[in-house]
Structure 1
Amino acid sequence: MKALISIDYTYDFIASDGALTTGHAGQAIESSIVKITQSFIERGDFVVFAIDAHDPTDVFHPENVLFPPHNIINTQGQNLYGDLNQLFHQYQSSCQVYWMNKRHYSAFCGTDLDLRLRERHITELYLTGVCTDICILHTAVDAYNLGYKLFIYQDAVASFDPIGHTWALKHFQHTLGATIL
């Protein structure tokens, strides 16, 4: 069984005026992400939206000193970007689509993601979203350590940093044994 993990494709990370935007790099992958997500939904596969979620009153969160405020819970900045937001709202009541707030880079850290995947007998994870060298990378490392087989859509991941993006794609393949699609 397989699942798609769509990571952090939100307004704050993608829109030109987003609080911590990847800008054009993130915007350029929108059609690929939407097409891939639609195909997973149509096949009846499990689709997880693992979304960065910050509470501005959380003074202990380490990202508060690393990055400007972004993806604040219940704000436009945390909404999915563009056509992906429309697709999510179309299928959000389906049991095959799951929205998951995450506090850390990895979609596994401090969440019930592993439990939800295992109860569905999922062994293969397909990753899309941003940032290739931050949240995608940390999620992939945790997935690898948990024994999942990894697939990364090269045309559906992006980063602020082109060098970091390229490095992460090589790391996925050569260190984590991921298949780059």
Structure 2
Amino acid sequence: MFDEVTYTGPKLKTKQVLWPTHCVQGTEDAALHKNLYVPSTNNKVIHITKGTDPDIDSYSAFMDNRGVRKTEFDDKLREHNVKHVFLAGLATDYCVSATAFDAFNLNYNTYIIEDATRGIDTQTIKTKLNHLKHLEEKKLFENVYALIVVDVQNCFITGNLALSHGPAHQDGAEVVPIINHLIKTIPFDLVVYTYDWHPPNHISFFENIKSRRKYLKDKKIRKIKMFDEVTYTGPKLKTKQILWPTHCIQGTDDASLHKNLYVSSNNNKVIHIRKGTDPDIDSYSAFMDNGGVIRTELDDKLREHNVTHVFLTGLATDYCVSATAYDAFNLNYNTYIIEDATRGIDIDTINTKLNYLKQLGVKVIQANQVKRIISTYRK
């Protein structure tokens, strides 16, 4: 008992400390202590169960010990826009420290209330706490910066959905030299290029409205015009949808990046993200679809590179750029929109979206400020 062994299966190879039987589901042993206060306000209380898989242990409240299966904890915290987490409980050197480690790596401002924890082994407690303190100190010296280039594609510059055709009459091509200059002169750790990447039968296309008629809340197709917002009741979920002209179809030149946009040949520092690939739901944000149901791999990729700050450029300010900024902020990235490196569709919508994001805490800056910001915070 208490030895560490290595299991080769049945699901994966894992190291495991052998504990006595404990916290079996549904038993009094697994119940919270009778004197522990649990608020009766249900909308402010979350209960997370972990270690439910018989074949892998879970010290952290966020995920199992191999990081394979996540609990719903992170999603629940993000639903409530949590930025700071304070940890108390048992045991300091195992479940508390493991939860703190994952919270920190998920970009929460993380605090352990030391005198509200107790542990198993004094030396292990000190080792774990010192390691976690070192992570925080290290993070101060290791900000990681990503430039996200949103949808600088032919479809938004010369195609059916060219921004120049919109009410603001902005030219999407104008962002290209500004973005190129940023990439070539600023030491970003990562550059992300995102793409609208739609199948021909995509829900956002006005031209597909007849084939989706049975899902329209208002069946009077003759009254519906391009750029109207409609409500589809299916096939997968109820969603509001602006009807755009056909654009950015997968594999076409229309969906290609603008020919003059600089793409670094350093593959270790470049990520390509394709969104809007599901025919039945649109995706403005590069992080997830408009219903928040299906996520792209962007968040995982940024976390793999320990990114702390994201700088957004591209098209269109009032839709895909602002939606990506909103999600980046809610995912706890330090988020900047480089305003003069974006172009949009409608001036009023652009101003409304930017003002809203500023109120949340997203910083709206100009390209000539980026170098100073990174120089100030890069230690």
User: Which TM-score band applies after superposition, normalised by the shorter structure?
Assistant: 0.7 to 0.9
Q: CA deviation at 1:39?
A: 3.0
Provide closer, same or farther for how the CA distance between residues 151 and 56 of structure 1 changes in structure 2, counting only shifts above 3 A.
same
Kindly indicate whether the alpha-carbon contact (under 8 Å) linking 2:147 and 2:310 is maintained by their aligned counterparts in 1: yes
Distance in 1 of aligned mates of 2:314 and 2:322: 11
Correspondent of 2:252 among 75, 91, 98? 75
Map residues 8-19 of structure 1 onto 2, 5 A cutoff.
8-15=151-158, 18-19=159-160
Q: CA deviation at 1:172?
A: 2.4
Provide closer, same or farther for how the CA distance between residues 172 and 37 of structure 1 changes in structure 2, counting only shifts above 3 A.
farther
Compare the two structures and name the one with the higher helix fraction.
Answer: 1
Could you state the TM-score of these two structures normalised by the residue count of structure 2?
0.43
User: What SS does the corresponding residue of 1:28 show, helix, strand or coil?
Assistant: helix
What CA RMSD, in Å, does the superposition of the two structures yield over aligned residues? 1.7
User: What SS does the corresponding residue of 2:172 show, helix, strand or coil?
Assistant: helix
Is 1:27 aligned to 2:173, yes or no? yes
Kindly indicate whether the alpha-carbon contact (under 8 Å) linking 2:325 and 2:336 is maintained by their aligned counterparts in 1: no
Distance in 1 of aligned mates of 2:180 and 2:314: 11
User: What SS does the corresponding residue of 1:98 show, helix, strand or coil?
Assistant: strand
Is 1:102 aligned to 2:287, yes or no? no
Taking every aligned residue pair, what percent have the same amino acid on both sides? 33
Work out which structure has the larger RCO, using CA pairs closer than 8 Å and 6 or more positions apart in sequence.
1
User: What SS does the corresponding residue of 1:81 show, helix, strand or coil?
Assistant: coil
In structure 2, what is the equivalent of residue 175 of structure 1? 360
What letter matches 1:83 in structure 2? N
Deviation string 1:56-114 (CA, Å, 9 cap, x unpaired) is: 04xxx431241111011111111111410xx22x52x6221111111111100020111
Q: CA deviation at 1:170?
A: 2.0
Distance in 2 of aligned mates of 1:162 and 1:179: 16
What letter matches 2:320 in structure 1? C
Correspondent of 1:158 among 343, 364, 368? 343
- Alignment gaps of 5+ in structure 1: none
Which protein shows a greater Rg? 2
What letter matches 2:192 in structure 1? V
Correspondent of 2:296 among 111, 116, 129? 111
In structure 2, what is the equivalent of residue 120 of structure 1? 305
- Alignment gaps of 5+ in structure 2: 1-143, 165-169, 207-242, 277-282, 289-294, 367-379
Map residues 35-114 of structure 1 onto 2, 5 A cutoff.
35-40=181-186, 43=187, 45-57=189-201, 61-65=202-206, 66-84=243-261, 87-88=262-263, 91=265, 94-103=267-276, 104-109=283-288, 110-114=295-299
Runs of 4+ in 1 over 3 A off after TM superposition: none
Distance in 2 of aligned mates of 1:105 and 1:163: 18
Is 1:3 aligned to 2:146, yes or no? yes
